[in-house]
Structure 1
Amino acid sequence: MTEEKVSATLTFAVPVARVFAVLADPTTHSAIDGTGWVQEAVERARLTEVGQIFRMEMYHAGHPDGDYRVVNKVEVLDPPHAIGWLTGYEKGDGQLEFGGWIWRYDLAPLGPSESEVRLTYDWSAVPQFIRERGIRFPPFGPEHLINSLHHLAELVSGR
C-alpha cells in the first residue's frame, strides 16, 4: 500500500453542526466506534481546543493487557467542519507519547439538513521504530470506518 491512510464517506440527513457536536463529545465515542474497542471516556469534557487531551478506556483481545487506556490529543478543531486527534499512551513517568496516527472527521454541508462526513485514519507519520514492533497498519479491516460512520449517523439522527 503506497498511500498510508484510509477513508470512508457517508451522507447524513442532519446538519453538520449536529454531527460536529456529537463528535466533540468524547462520551459518544464508544457508541460510534466500529470495532468495539473503545469502551468509555475517562475525561468527559467537550473537545473545544487544539492540544486538548482526552483519554479513553479500551479493550482489544489482541492487546497484551486486554484492557488498556489511550491518550488522545486534539490536532484539528474547525467547528463545524473538521475535528481530529492523535492517539497514544501515557508512559510510567506521566509523559505522553503519540504513535503518529490520526483520526480525522471532515464535514461538509450538502444543504440545511444534510451533511457529507468523511472519516480518515492516517498513519503516514508513524515513526520507523513503531513500525518495527510488528504493528500492522491499519490495525483493523476496511469495514471499520464505514461501520463507525453508520453508528455516528444512527446516533445523530436519534435512532
Structure 2
Amino acid sequence: MTSDTITVERTIAAPPAQIFALLADAAKHSEFDGSGTVRGTRQESRPLSLGTTFGMSMHRGVGYRTSNEVVEFVPERQIAWQTSGLRGLIGGRIWRYAASRPTAEPS
C-alpha cells in the first residue's frame, strides 16, 4: 500500500511557544524551509490563526505562487495549512507541524 503522507520527527531544544511563534508567522517560513523553494510571503508579517489565508512566492526551476489556508490551529501545539496554486490546478497538500509531549528524563 502506498501513502501520500510523509512524517518527519525532530527534537528541537527550544520552548514550544518560541517554535510555534516562528511557524505561525508566514513571513518567516523561508527561514526554516528545508527545500529552499520558499522565497517569501506576499503580505505583511502577522500571526496566523484558523481560517487565515496567505500567499507564498515559491521557486522550483521556475517561480510560482501559492495560496494557503490555515486548516488546523491549536495555539503552541499544532498548525496546518493547505496549499493551492496555479489557479487551483496544483496543490492540495497539507503541511502540518505538531508539538509532541515532552518525555520524562531518565533518573
Q: Highest relative contact order (Cα 8 Å, sep 6+), 1 or 2? A: 1
Partner letter of residue 24 of structure 1? Answer: A
Query: Which one of 74, 91, 106 corresponds to residue 99 of structure 1?
Result: 91
Counterpart of 1:137?
A: none
Of 81, 94, 107, the match for 1:85: 81
Scaled by the length of structure 2, what TM-score is found? 0.85
Q: Which residue of 2 aligns with 1:58?
A: 58
Structure 1: runs of 5 or more not aligned: 112-159
1:3 positional shift: 2.1
**Mapped contact 1:86–1:98 kept (Cα < 8 A):** no
Structure 2 counterpart of 1:38, one-letter code: V
Which string of whole-angstrom CA distances, capped at 9 and with x for unpartnered residues, describes residues 46-95 of structure 1?
102x211000111111xxxx11111110011101110000000263xxxx
Same amino acid, percent of matched pairs: 35
> How far apart, CA to CA, are the structure 1 residues paired with 2:64 and 2:76?
31
Partner of 1:45: 46
- The gaps in structure 2 that reach 5 residues or longer are none
- How far apart, in 1, do the equivalents of 2:100 and 2:8 lie? 14
- Indicate if the aligned counterparts of 1:81 and 1:106 stay in contact, CA closer than 8 A: yes
Structure 1 distance, partners of 2:63, 2:7, is 27
The residue number in structure 1 matching 2:16 is 16
1:102-124: per-residue Cα shift (whole Å, max 9, x none)?
A: 0000112427xxxxxxxxxxxxx
User: Corresponding residue for 1:32?
Assistant: 32
Query: Is 1:71 matched with 2:67?
Result: yes
Give 1:110's aligned residue: 102
Amino acid at match of 1:101: R
